[in-house]
Amino acid sequence: MTMRTRKLGTTGPQVSALGLGCMGMSGMYGEADRAESIATIHAALEAGVTLLDTGDFYGMGHNELLINEALRTAPAALRENALVSVKFGALRGPDGDWYGFDGRPAAVKNFAAYSLQRLGVDHIDVYRPSRLDPDVPIEETVGAIAELVEKGWVRHIGLSEVGADTIRRAAATAPIADLQIEYALISRGPEREILPTLRELGIAVTAYGVLSRGLISGHVTPDQGFAANDFRAHSPRFQGDNLRHNLTLVESLRKIAEEKGVSVAQIAIAWVLSRGEDIVPLVGARTRQRLGEALGALDVTLEEADLAAIEAAVPADAAAGERYAAEQMAMLDSER
Each residue of 120-168: pLDDT tens digit? 999 999 999 999 999 999 999 999 999 999 999 999 999 999 999 999 9
Measured between alpha carbons, how far is 67 from 214 in angstroms, rounded to an integer? Answer: 22
The burial of 68, by beta-carbon neighbours within 10 Å (0-12 exposed, 13-18 middle, 19 or more buried), is given as middle
Give the pLDDT band (50/70/90) at residue 231.
confident
Give the residue among 334, 314, 320 at the shortest CA–CA distance from 185: 314
Measured between alpha carbons, how far is 269 from 122 in angstroms, rounded to an integer? Answer: 33
Identify the H or E element spanning 306: helix 304-313
Is pLDDT above 90 for 278? Answer: yes
Measured between alpha carbons, how far is 187 from 20 in angstroms, rounded to an integer? Answer: 19
For residues 221-227, give the mean pLDDT: 87
**What pLDDT does 103 receive?**
98
**What pLDDT does 327 receive?**
84
Give the residue among 221, 176, 219 at the shortest CA–CA distance from 201: 176
Give the pLDDT band (50/70/90) at residue 1.
low
Catalytic residue among 58, 127, 183, 208: 58
Strands 124-129 and 154-160: parallel
Measured between alpha carbons, how far is 190 from 198 in angstroms, rounded to an integer? Answer: 10
Measured between alpha carbons, how far is 288 from 36 in angstroms, rounded to an integer? Answer: 7
For residues 109-114, give the mean pLDDT: 98
Measured between alpha carbons, how far is 93 from 265 in angstroms, rounded to an integer? Answer: 34
58 catalytic? Reply is: yes
**Helix%, strand%, coil% for the chain, nearest 5:** 45, 20, 35
pTM score of the predicted model = 0.95
**What pLDDT does 249 receive?**
96
**What pLDDT does 29 receive?**
76
- Residue 189: strand, helix, or coil: helix
Greatest pairwise CA separation for the chain in angstroms:
54
Structure confidence by residue, pLDDT tens digits, 6-28: 999 999 999 999 999 999 999 77
Structure confidence by residue, pLDDT tens digits, 65-101: 999 999 999 999 999 999 999 999 999 998 878 899 9
**What pLDDT does 117 receive?**
98
Percent share of the chain, pLDDT over 70: 100
**What pLDDT does 95 receive?**
84
Look up residue 232 and give its amino acid: R
Measured between alpha carbons, how far is 193 from 186 in angstroms, rounded to an integer? Answer: 17
Look up residue 141 and give its amino acid: T
The residues, ordered by sequence, that sit 6+ positions from 35 with a Cβ below 8 Å of its Cβ are none
Vertex 265 angle, CA 206 and 15, to 5°: 30
- Residue 283: strand, helix, or coil: strand
**What pLDDT does 97 receive?**
84
**Alpha-helical runs (H) found in 174-232:** 194-201
**What pLDDT does 13 receive?**
98
Structure confidence by residue, pLDDT tens digits, 289-330: 999 999 999 999 999 999 999 999 999 999 999 998 888 888
Give the pLDDT band (50/70/90) at residue 228.
confident
DSSP 28: B
Give the residue among 58, 219, 39 at the shortest CA–CA distance from 130: 58
**What pLDDT does 192 receive?**
96
- Residue 18: strand, helix, or coil: coil
- Whether the Cβ atoms of residue 140 and residue 67 lie closer than 8 Å to each other: no
Average pLDDT, the chain: 95
- Whether the Cβ atoms of residue 101 and residue 129 lie closer than 8 Å to each other: yes
